[in-house]
Amino acid sequence: MVLRRPVIRWLLFSLPLLFLAVFYFFPLSRIIGLSLSQDGGLQTTVLQKLFGSGTYGKILWFSIWQAALSTILTLVFALPGAYVFAKYSFRGKAVFQALMTVPFVMPTVVTAAAFRALLGQNGLVNHWSMSMFGLSEPVIDIDQTIVFFLLAHIFYNYTLVVRMVSSFWSTIDHKVVAAARMLGASPMAAFRTVTLPLLMPAIGSAALLVFTFCFTSFGVILILGGPRFSTLEVEIYRQTVQLFNLPMAATLAIIQLVFNFLLMWLHARLAKRTKVSFFAGDVSNTQSDPESAAKRSFAFFNLSFMILLLATPLIALIIRSFSGEDGFTLLYYTTLFTRDDTSLLMVEPIASVKNSILFGFGAMSIALSLGLLAATFLSDNSGKNIAFWDAVIMLPLATSAVTLGFGYIVALNKPPVNLRDSLLLVPLAHALVAFPFVVRCLLPSLRQIPADLREAATLLGASPFRVWRLIDIPLLRKAILVAAIFAFAISMGEFGASAFVARPHTPTMPVAIFRFLSHPGSLNYGQAMAMSTILMVVTCISFWLAEKLEARLADTRYVK
């Protein structure tokens, strides 16, 4: 049995590897090969241009320092919130957790539209302040500045830090801190010498993910930063779509891929040594109401800041979706059910909602099945090169969606993998994006299962599959639920890959939103706001249901 177990684990892991080979490595290799080769040999002119020009070095440096600054600012603002969610219980906590997850899975086009609706030159803040005080110039002028997209990066990643760090923080034994206090340490000294060192794996893991997401920032930089700012991701898009310079785009994609692989490898090593959970539910059993006035004020301040940061852009989005030239209107919502000769879509816009939901369930099923197999393999900390394979699983997060989109067009158009015109390509592409998130949700819970339980079942004659089905799966119900909802929400908000693989008669919601935003006119803008609001509501309901079901599963486990 011991000899067969590694063989079984590798056989199960071969399915996720096959999925990555067909839908990630093969398309990526095809576009890189076609872009860098010329007349059967290596094209060197693009390399000479890349390293001979200072322009691309500046783009790489900007990508690095803006990601580092975004990460630092996110940690500064999010760590106090992580403390509140780790240590305190309060009314509406499940609703807060569901609401604050929405920004992380919103499409970049929606986030950019929300921030412009709130803080742009024609945004609600400037509009109301100019009307109230009779001003002729906008009070806030941050369009196409660093401040604008830094705010958006904090908006995106605040939840990531809060949920990862708070779930880890809540598992730290409070007796260790109490012992330090009994030995004379002040609250600040106990935090600095005891709590902070214990938290560093979670903080480091979250920081690496935030840096990676900001390093590959695309839509936020493109829309809010304007033409003056360009990350590697934006430059890949510009070289591919605007200049059609595939050799340069592919070379930049390789640099980005190598850089991000190193980041993912570091994250995998941290995750292997710790039990840091990615978007886990609330696992603390020592939470209490803030008893002192200072603690209540601290909690109130942080929750208020969270609402101000995360809710106000989304509220501005909702207000804009109901605001017409003459005031309140439902026009933008009713026109989603109609189509005429001037329509930007080949179908009624509301059909994109149905498409996104169907694709979401398909992507969720694929990503959850493959993610469970991959996480089971990676949960063996004694295995060789686990950190390497963990980093390989995370690679889709580190690759330009533009590059992959063109790779699908180039690589998946011939037998035996001719899927370019198939509806299956959309959920498969979405599953590729959601797959690493599913693994990150499941892996910490798998590593927390005591080995004694599996060994006892094996001694009683249970096969490895029976042990996995009767012990691992029941203990993973909560993590599986979170991973499933998260995969569904990721699919609902996925834009980069959908822009290339979605067919004209089956657009997704993010694709429809982008088409509306890319064309002038108040009706198109209003329809984009209405569609964005619907997407936001669907995503929020998904995570709210996840929080409720988590609580019900916990109650059921207690009853049993």
pLDDT tens for 523-559 read: 888 888 898 888 888 877 777 776 666 666 555 543 4
Is the domain 4-323+332-559 a CATH 3.30.1370.10 member? Answer: no
Residue 3: which pLDDT band, with cuts at 50, 70 and 90? Answer: very low
How many other β-carbons are positioned within 10 Å of the β-carbon of residue 350? 19
What residues contact residue 386 under an 8 Å CB cut-off, 6+ apart? 268, 272, 378, 380
The yes-or-no verdict on residue 177 having pLDDT over 80 is: no
Measured between alpha carbons, how far is 349 from 517 in angstroms, rounded to an integer? 13
> Quick one: pLDDT at residue 42?
57
Contact 90, 516 (CB under 8 A): no
Measured between alpha carbons, how far is 34 from 247 in angstroms, rounded to an integer? 8
Across 11-20, average pLDDT: 89
> Quick one: pLDDT at residue 328?
86
Nearest to 362 by CA among 434, 443, 436: 434
How many other β-carbons are positioned within 10 Å of the β-carbon of residue 105? 25
How many other β-carbons are positioned within 10 Å of the β-carbon of residue 440? 28
3-state secondary structure labels for all residues of 511-528:
HHHHHHHCCCCHHHHHHH
pLDDT (tens digit per residue) in 222-250: 778 777 788 888 888 788 777 777 778 77
Q: Indicate the angle between helix axes 26-36 and 401-411, nearest 10 degrees.
A: 90
The yes-or-no verdict on residue 41 having pLDDT over 60 is: no
> Quick one: pLDDT at residue 298?
83
Measured between alpha carbons, how far is 157 from 182 in angstroms, rounded to an integer? 37
Residue 284 tokens, joined: 């603390």
- What's the Rg (C-alpha) of the chain? 24
Residue 352 tokens, joined: 């994109």
Nearest to 445 by CA among 487, 473, 466, 485: 473
Contacts 24+ apart (CB under 8 A), 411-417: 411/26, 411/27, 411/30, 411/31, 412/27, 417/22, 417/26
Average pLDDT score, the chain: 79
pLDDT (tens digit per residue) in 92-138: 777 777 677 777 767 777 787 788 888 887 778 887 888 888 777 88
Distance of CA 19 to the CA centre of its chain: 20
The residues with which 418 forms a beta bridge, in sequence order, are: 413
Measured between alpha carbons, how far is 538 from 438 in angstroms, rounded to an integer? 20
Measured between alpha carbons, how far is 33 from 560 in angstroms, rounded to an integer? 57
Give the CA dihedral 404, 405, 407, 411, nearest 10 degrees. Answer: 130
Backbone dihedral region for residue 502 (phi beyond 0: left; psi -120 to 50: alpha; all else: beta): beta
Name which residue leads in pLDDT, 277 or 464: 464
The yes-or-no verdict on residue 52 having pLDDT over 60 is: yes
The yes-or-no verdict on residue 282 having pLDDT over 70 is: no
Residue 2: which pLDDT band, with cuts at 50, 70 and 90? Answer: very low
SS3 content of the chain, % helix, strand, coil (to 5): 75, 0, 25
Residue 385 tokens, joined: 């090169």
Eight-class DSSP state of 463: -
Measured between alpha carbons, how far is 495 from 532 in angstroms, rounded to an integer? 13
Across 393-411, average pLDDT: 75
The yes-or-no verdict on residue 280 having pLDDT over 80 is: no
Eight-class DSSP state of 88: B
The yes-or-no verdict on residue 35 having pLDDT over 80 is: no
Across 486-507, average pLDDT: 82
pLDDT (tens digit per residue) in 373-391: 898 888 876 666 777 888 7
Measured between alpha carbons, how far is 15 from 23 in angstroms, rounded to an integer? 12
Name which residue leads in pLDDT, 418 or 527: 527
Residue 206 tokens, joined: 């979250």
